[in-house]
Chain A
Amino acid sequence: MNGHERKRFATAAVLSCVAVAMLGLSLWSPTLYRLFCQATGFEGTLRTTNVPPPSGTTATEVLVRFDANVNSALPWRFHPLQREVRLRLGEEALIHYTAVNLSDKPITGMATFNVVPEKAAPYFSKLECFCFTEQTLLPGQEVSMPVVFYVDPGLAEDPTTRDVGTITLSYTFYRSENQPTPTASAAPPSSSTAGAGG
């Protein structure tokens, strides 16, 4: 390799690294995106925290409404027990959603959630919730799902959120990809005999 060629290959190597780095960045982006949304409340992403509300509430009140949706592939009924609560900023609240499995099979569902208006998301702190955790309901089973949250007093101080009087918390349940495996008794009996014979 003469000097000219070495220079060409060196440049090409650097450029290839740039391309690979961009590919890596794009494959890493789901994680980055989630972190970004959690850090900024982008797209109404909520903070789940274990930091208790700052001591002392303020006089300002906010109305929090609750919304529930179920994807059509999931034969469940799902709704909040309270339509809305009015609470002071910094005040902790406990509310319940309830879900019923209407089918005759055990089914696993999974919930996603966000708040509207999105700009209020950074101030909406949940201490306990059923978000993203998979829930398996037996046929006809009904469960109550608690949500503990507070709205940070910072909401009233931030000039971009000062006008927010109502926040809607919305959950959507989907059918999970991981469904419960059928119990042993439900398995076809032939499988065990086939195993023994083989």
Chain B
Amino acid sequence: MAHGAAVAHGEHEHHPTGWKRWVYSTNHKDIGTMYIVLSMIAALVGGLMSWAIRLELAEPGIQFIHDTHFYNVLVTAHGFIMVFFVVMPAMIGGFGNWFVPLMIGAPDMAFPRMNNISFWLTAAGFILLMLSAVVGEGPGTGWTVYPPLSSIAFHPGPSVDFGILALHVAGAGSILGAINFIVTIFNMRAPGMTMHRMPLFVWSILVTAFLLLLALPVLAGALTMLLTDRNFGTHFYEVAGGGDPLLWQHLFWFFGHPEVYIIILPAFGIISQIVSTFAKKPVFGYLGMAYAMVSIGVVGFVVWAHHMFMTGIGVNARAYFTVATLIIAVPTGIKIFSWLATMWGGSIEFKAPMLYAMGFIWLFVMGGVTGVVLANGGIDTAFHDTYYVVAHFHYVMAIAAIFAMFGAWYYWIGKMTGRQYPEGLARVQFWVFFIGVNVLFFPQHFLGLAGMPRRIPDYPDVYAGWNFVSSIGAAITMAGTLLFYYVVFHTLASGRKAASNPWGEGATTLEWTVPSPAPFHTHEEMPVIAGGGHGHSHGHGMPRPAE
């Protein structure tokens, strides 16, 4: 086997050790690991904030957050941290860096030094965001940063400026990362690894990278104008100077809707790998799955104003955005049914990654259904800015993404560390977490239907019951989360040794052909992928390496 020789060669090569190994790292696996560690740290910070929010909301009246602006700061920071510094780093920077090169047979990313810069820019962004909460009054704008609330009149201190800089810096890192992924996937595939034979996880990262490339510069431009409005007397969003705050909303959501898909597309890829591995079958409708992601990406750019139904846009615009939004449900449905068809008749093994994949499908379907409800401009008149929306996006995006990340962690940890997680404990962790998040978020649908507004720390007594249930759910979720960190610790400290392919015949992608843990250098001599038609003619929806 060609790669066997490559591995042996790699281990003799000199590579840096100690702190230099990490700080100066140009190795896709080390950088991926750093992204995952950053995400796990940020998750604790963002998670603590959400638990503070749920504690405050456990009962009517103000419990312990007497400064309501501080409540807004918590909500804002929670959203930013989870979106930009937990989910994106783990899925794209973490698992993307680790497994895209391994899966396509490339020795590393196309631009290893740029990869290092991307990571450190993301880390710097996280630090700037933390600073924004301690300089000045803290940003209480929500993650949507709408002016005039975010303008100098209502946030006179420097915290919004720090927040803007945090997003600029992290955004620049993500754009560089996106370029790196696209170049890698386009130019560095092993011989025989055609586009139509790439694993679906690679497809998902490719589409995500394009969304990042097209959407993030728009956020950067919008933020720059907000910065100059705040500091240099321009009036892009100031009505008094002939500007329009609605322009911000258009730009923000032109970025924001693709952003939610940036978060969920890598999850789609992860779920496809896991489902096919544990059903021991190729993914049903491989090409349909790949192009469903492409079309979700494309259509995602023309639906943004479904976040703006209540801004007074005309009836024609509302009709268009309703229909365009509903159309996204079609490729989304293709994905769901293809996963179900993959499982159908398969001999499924209910290991922890598979439990998380099935949990993901349940959450995503729940959130998709409420999304289709909200997509109707007329209905959204009642639901906009209520807890119904909060329930929708936590099901469809937030918790679904976390499920995919947990699933990916259990699926790949043996490959990354050479140690396998404890299966029994992992299943317990799944069930605690699954029950927790459903008790936490399902009641929020009822609260939203009853009209409870989001982003307010107090509420009338009528909402007390379901809020209490929801906070109990938050406590269970917290237990599940801490249990996960314990599983991580347990795996690293005393996990049993992982085989190079711990999953058996279902795991057909290239990363399972290298030893566990994957050596520092892999695929230095490119593996050759056996010829043939599309991936699915190979029996597993994914290419097999040449034997």
Contacts and interface: CB of A to CB of B under 8 A. Distances in A.
Asked if A and B are interacting partners, one says yes
Interface of A: 4, 7-8, 11-12, 15-16, 18-20, 22-27, 29-30, 33, 42-43, 71, 110, 112, 118-119, 132, 160, 172, 174-177
A176 B175 CA distance: 38
Given A110-B241, A118-B314, A26 B218 contact: yes
Contacts of A112: 239-240, 242
B472 to A, nearest CB: 44
B233 A177 contact: yes
A110 B110 contact: no
A119 B315 contact: yes
Contact of B247 (A11, A29, A110, A132): A29
B224 to A, nearest CB: 7
Interface string B457-489: 000000000000000000000000000000000
Nearest to B215: A22
- The bracket for how many chain B residues form the interface is 35 or more
Interface stretch (B66-74, B87-95, B181-189, B385-393): B181-189
A29 B237 CA distance: 12
A176 B183 contact: no
Contacts, number: 95
B313 to A, nearest CB: 7
Contact of B220 (A16, A26, A110): A26
B53 interface: no
A19 B225 contact: no
A15 B183 contact: yes
A71 to B, nearest CB: 7
B316 A30 contact: no
The 6 closest A-B pairs by CB, nearest first: A26-B221, A174-B240, A22-B217, A23-B217, A26-B218, A15-B179
Given A12-B110, A18-B213, A110 B225 contact: no
Nearest to B221: A26
If over half of A's interface residues share one DSSP class (helix, strand or loop), that class is named, otherwise mixed; here it is helix
Interface of B: 110-111, 175, 178-179, 182-183, 186-188, 213-222, 224-225, 233, 235-236, 239-244, 246-247, 250-251, 312-317
Contacts of B239: 112, 172, 174
Contacts of B213: 15, 18-19, 22
Given A30-B247, A110-B241, A16 B179 contact: yes
A33 B314 CA distance: 16
Contacts of A24: 221
B205 to A, nearest CB: 14
B179 A27 contact: no
A16 B316 CA distance: 36
Contact of A12 (B179, B219, B247): B179
A118 B316 CA distance: 11
A7 B189 CA distance: 13
A27 B218 CA distance: 8
Given A29-B251, A33-B250, A160-B316, A175 B187 contact: no
A15 B251 CA distance: 21
Given A42-B314, A110-B242, A26 B251 contact: yes
A29 B221 CA distance: 9
Nearest to B250: A33
Nearest to B224: A27
Given A174-B240, A177-B241, A22 B315 contact: no
A46 to B, nearest CB: 14
Contact of A30 (B215, B236, B240): B236
Interface centre among A20, A33, A71 (most CB of B within 10 A): A33
A8 B182 CA distance: 10
Given A18-B213, A22-B221, A23-B217, 20 more contacts: A11-B183, A15-B179, A18-B214, A19-B213, A19-B216, A25-B221, A26-B217, A27-B221, A27-B225, A29-B221, A30-B236, A30-B247, A33-B250, A112-B242, A119-B314, A119-B316, A172-B239, A174-B239, A176-B240, A176-B241
A43 B221 contact: no
8 contacts: A15-B183, A19-B216, A26-B218, A27-B221, A29-B247, A119-B316, A174-B241, A176-B241
Contacts of B183: 8, 11-12, 15
B179 A22 contact: no
Contacts of B179: 12, 15-16, 19
Contacts of A119: 314-316
B174 to A, nearest CB: 11
A24 B218 CA distance: 8
Contacts of B218: 22-23, 25-26
Nearest to B222: A26
Contacts of A118: 312, 314
Given A12-B110, A29-B247, A160-B316, A23 B182 contact: no
